[in-house]
Structure 1
Amino acid sequence: MLNSPLFRLTKRLQRRSRAENGVGMTTHILDSIDPALLGRQLASARKARGLTQQAVAEALGLSRATVIALEKGDRRPKPGELVQLAGLYQRQVGDFVRAGALPPGDSFVVHFRSARTPGSQVQDERREADVRAFEDLCRDYLEIERLTGSPLPRRYPEVYDVTHADAEEAAEEVAVSERQRLGLGDGPIGDLWGLFSSDVGLRIFAQVFRDNRIAGLFVFTEEYGGCISVNARHPEERQRWTAAHEYAHFLTDRYRAEITVLPTFQRVPERERFADAFARHFLMPTSGLVRRFQAMRRAKEGPVTPADVLVLGHLYQVSFAALMLRLEELRLISAGSWERLKGAGFKVTEARALLDLPPSQHRLAALPMRYEALAVQAFMRGELSQERLARLLRMQPVEARERVQELAHGMFFDDGELYQLPLDLGAVLTPVAR
């Protein structure tokens, strides 16, 4: 076993982990940590890496009984053992010993097992890596909130029961109900990301997925709440559709993790048909879309053209294809219009460039602005080191310092002049109760 690939990988990661963490742990640090909590963290990290207790035991030169005792909290790990375990699990030692380290529930990998679709071993490995990265983002977000005492308010509705209901009818009813609850009326939604974050309380990320077939991920746990990640490589319109699709799962099937892949020619399950129908009605509500389309048609002397639909799509921030199909569904344009345009070689990208439509002002960043602002706040309070801040922001240290400067200063224009105002992110804005 000493020459096995896993053993060699463990030794290499062990050396790297020592260098990166600058570990100088003393026994009293480990003595101050609840061994049962630490054990649960180690077990969760092991499962997330897909390793068995026996494989870990062999890699570290321990007995399986010792690994079991570590995970049950019956035995505290020695400093050197914790360094080895952190390297093997591709974690930082600080993830386990940092003050206020989070007590994990089941790993996201466990939650997403039921959402797996048949695929090759390589696809499964890539997908599992994407899920682990998603979990890391959610864990880091919650850690930052706890450091700053700023929990994300949850304004969740009750789960909608759509059991035995027609997918299309139920989707429209739920979409209309949610729009009313959120005060959206029947018009286009501008800042969808801000809506989901601030008005609902969801954690929204954009990831560069290793499995490029993935459009989005959704999971809900009591600890993290509702969490959504969309494919960072996809166009803004596709990301918005994916987020609305995942939101449908949150509203109706909250406790079931979801991996949304790009459409195939396979039969679409009922719950996926519902989620897509919800996205359609949520982003393009019938009453508002019909009213705007009719007003546009009355304002023209000639017939509605693809250019008109592109402008309308830009307003609703949906793809040209999605809007064309929605207009066909509402019988506002003739059936088959989209297929005929495709057959004639219509190029959406080129047509949009000719119209010179401005870019969206509400693009989704990899990390939420709130996440970054709270991380900078914790750093300025001295609760995060520069190295830890850089890891949380997924940046190099130089980039992280620049981001601190950007977020720590407010900017405004006055008579054409740009001024910089120091911004105290920790300033008290409400009176303190006496």
Structure 2
Amino acid sequence: MARTTVVAMENGKRRPRATELVKLAALSGRAVGDFLLPEVATDHVDFAALFRPAPNGRSTVNAARDEDIRQFEQLCRWYVELESLAGASLARRYPEPYDIADTPAERAALAVATAERNRLGLGDGPIGDLWDLLETDVGLRAFAIPMRDRRIAGMFVYSEAFGGCIAVNANHPEDRRRWSGVQEYGRFLTMRHRAEVTILSATKRPKERERFADAFARHFLMPIAGLTRRIDAIRRANETPFTLGDLWQLANLYGVSVQAMTWRLEELRLLSIGTWDRLTEFGVQPSQAKRLLGLTASESGTPHLPTRYQVLAVQSYLGGGLSEGQLAERLLADRVSVRELIHQMTTVEQPTEDGIWAQATLDLSQPIMA
């Protein structure tokens, strides 16, 4: 396609022909329908540039990671696009960035985690649906997507157009995803304008910001007062000592790995130092123990998209703003799965006067509050 033709179309002096739209879509790696959707003001945001290392920094970007970043960016763009179609922007309930300069990582993490729990009215108990909390009460866009680079734990980026955005690796177990999500949340709270890709590392000398993120996750997910009180209650209620089964159930309640819970209890001197090492020496396997106790975990590799994102996508489809193919693309699903989701969202069962349960159809766009 001639450069003059492209320039003329960009300047609005010439309408593209159908064949030209097909060529442009192929060149840009996008669907033809994407060019027909309302434009949203996010074109100036380039995730690849935001994640680029500093001039003298060491680049660790590879092809797989680059593709993961592009997928993350695409989901964020689609989210803002869906909001534009529905006329419903995500409320941002952000605190001012916490200044932790010159404060030791552990002390800073405890202070920020405590302040955020108080701000969000969480008390000191376990956190249930972390993802809805981050989106509804904070205003972050949080995705779990299967990443090609399996070493990636999570990503965080902030821009004025998108707001704060988090992605965690859906190839990892749910307890690891939650941990990674809270780590990225901690980065948002303290280093908002610094995009970050977190890589799983076995190094024994992590950087200060990595120590902060890890400590923040520990304090935010397992606050000292609430955890200590719960342990005391278990000991009082049981006629036997604190058991391995109690440990597994406690980790499940707080949504963390058994290893993370064990280390936390060791840190608080509620378990003797070295308990985890002894458990691993005995050949304890967390996944097998969870099955025996009836504690099920989310399936790894399955994308988790925000509930609000899914509702907006289905609303846009039902309103004619998206085709079924575009809806499936945005939900990272096949068309059969998408049809099942639409049925679940728009159908409710309710009893008739005869006591027979009948299905009723819901209109997701119907106003119910003035």
Q: Which amino acid aligns with 1:420?
A: Q
Say whether residues 1:308 and 2:258 are aligned partners: no
State how far apart, in whole Å, the 1-side matches of 2:349 and 2:98 are.
43
Cα separation, partners in 2 of 1:337 and 1:418, compared to 1, 3 Å: farther
State how far apart, in whole Å, the 2-side matches of 1:322 and 1:117 are.
30
- Measure how far apart 1:95 and its partner are: 2.7
Contact 1:206 1:229 in 2 (8 A): yes
Choose which of 212, 217, 237 in structure 2 pairs with 1:274.
212
Cα separation, partners in 2 of 1:277 and 1:77, compared to 1, 3 Å: farther
- Measure how far apart 1:101 and its partner are: 4.5
Contact 1:309 1:324 in 2 (8 A): yes
Q: Which amino acid aligns with 2:225?
A: S
Choose which of 26, 32, 44 in structure 2 pairs with 1:93.
32
Judge which range, 280-289 or 368-377, deviates more.
368-377
State how far apart, in whole Å, the 1-side matches of 2:226 and 2:86 are.
41
Q: Secondary structure at the match of 2:284?
A: coil
Q: Show the counterpart of 2:185.
A: 247
- Measure how far apart 1:198 and its partner are: 0.8
Cα separation, partners in 2 of 1:351 and 1:386, compared to 1, 3 Å: closer
Choose which of 49, 59, 66 in structure 2 pairs with 1:110.
49
Q: Show the counterpart of 1:356.
A: 294
Q: Show the counterpart of 2:91.
A: 153
- Measure how far apart 1:353 and its partner are: 2.0
Q: Secondary structure at the match of 1:352?
A: helix
Q: Show the counterpart of 1:15.
A: none
Q: Deviations over 1:166-198 (max 9, x none)?
A: 100110110011001101000000111111111
- Measure how far apart 1:219 and its partner are: 0.8
Contact 2:45 2:161 in 1 (8 A): no
Q: Show the counterpart of 2:67.
A: 129
Q: Show the counterpart of 1:395.
A: 333
Cα separation, partners in 2 of 1:397 and 1:77, compared to 1, 3 Å: same
Judge which range, 137-146 or 301-310, deviates more.
301-310
Cα separation, partners in 2 of 1:426 and 1:77, compared to 1, 3 Å: closer
The structure whose RCO (Cα within 8 Å, separation 6+) is larger is: 2
State how far apart, in whole Å, the 1-side matches of 2:113 and 2:45 are.
31
- Measure how far apart 1:73 and its partner are: 4.9
Q: How does 1:216-295 map to 2 (within 5 A)?
A: 216-265=154-203, 267-295=205-233
Choose which of 369, 383, 394 in structure 1 pairs with 2:307.
369
State how far apart, in whole Å, the 2-side matches of 1:325 and 1:139 are.
39
Say whether residues 1:426 and 2:365 are aligned partners: yes
Cα separation, partners in 2 of 1:417 and 1:364, compared to 1, 3 Å: farther
The answer for unaligned runs of 5 or more in structure 1 is: 1-59
Q: Secondary structure at the match of 1:215?
A: strand
Q: Deviations over 1:218-258 (max 9, x none)?
A: 11111111111111111111111010000000100011111
- Measure how far apart 1:304 and its partner are: 1.8
Contact 1:114 1:257 in 2 (8 A): no
Contact 1:95 1:101 in 2 (8 A): no
Q: Secondary structure at the match of 1:395?
A: coil
State how far apart, in whole Å, the 2-side matches of 1:400 and 1:178 are.
36
State how far apart, in whole Å, the 2-side matches of 1:366 and 1:101 are.
24
Q: Show the counterpart of 1:16.
A: none
If the length of structure 1 is used for normalisation, what is the TM-score? Answer: 0.77
Say whether residues 1:84 and 2:46 are aligned partners: no
Q: Which amino acid aligns with 2:30?
A: R
State how far apart, in whole Å, the 1-side matches of 2:174 and 2:146 are.
14
State how far apart, in whole Å, the 2-side matches of 1:70 and 1:219 are.
34
Q: Show the counterpart of 2:102.
A: 164
Q: Secondary structure at the match of 2:288?
A: helix
State how far apart, in whole Å, the 2-side matches of 1:246 and 1:202 are.
11
State how far apart, in whole Å, the 2-side matches of 1:417 and 1:399 are.
28
Cα separation, partners in 2 of 1:399 and 1:299, compared to 1, 3 Å: closer
State how far apart, in whole Å, the 1-side matches of 2:191 and 2:260 are.
25
State how far apart, in whole Å, the 1-side matches of 2:96 and 2:50 are.
21
Structure with bigger gyration radius:
1
Contact 1:375 1:392 in 2 (8 A): yes
State how far apart, in whole Å, the 2-side matches of 1:374 and 1:251 are.
27
Q: Which amino acid aligns with 2:110?
A: E
- Measure how far apart 1:373 and its partner are: 1.2
Judge which range, 203-212 or 347-356, deviates more.
347-356
Judge which range, 89-98 or 283-292, deviates more.
89-98
Q: Deviations over 1:391-422 (max 9, x none)?
A: 22223334323322221112457999644221
Contact 2:290 2:296 in 1 (8 A): no
Say whether residues 1:185 and 2:123 are aligned partners: yes
Judge which range, 255-264 or 110-119, deviates more.
110-119
Contact 1:83 1:93 in 2 (8 A): yes
- Measure how far apart 1:97 and its partner are: 4.2
Contact 2:262 2:276 in 1 (8 A): yes
- Measure how far apart 1:107 and its partner are: 1.1
RMSD, aligned CA? 2.7
Q: Show the counterpart of 1:323.
A: 261
Q: Which amino acid aligns with 2:47?
A: F
The answer for unaligned runs of 5 or more in structure 2 is: none
Q: Tell me the matched-pair count.
A: 364
Say whether residues 1:205 and 2:143 are aligned partners: yes
If the length of structure 2 is used for normalisation, what is the TM-score? Answer: 0.90
Cα separation, partners in 2 of 1:284 and 1:270, compared to 1, 3 Å: same
Q: Secondary structure at the match of 1:318?
A: coil
Q: Show the counterpart of 1:347.
A: 285
Contact 2:42 2:77 in 1 (8 A): no
Q: Deviations over 1:193-218 (max 9, x none)?
A: 11111111111111110111111111
- Measure how far apart 1:388 and its partner are: 2.2
Percent of pairs identical after alignment? 48
Say whether residues 1:384 and 2:322 are aligned partners: yes
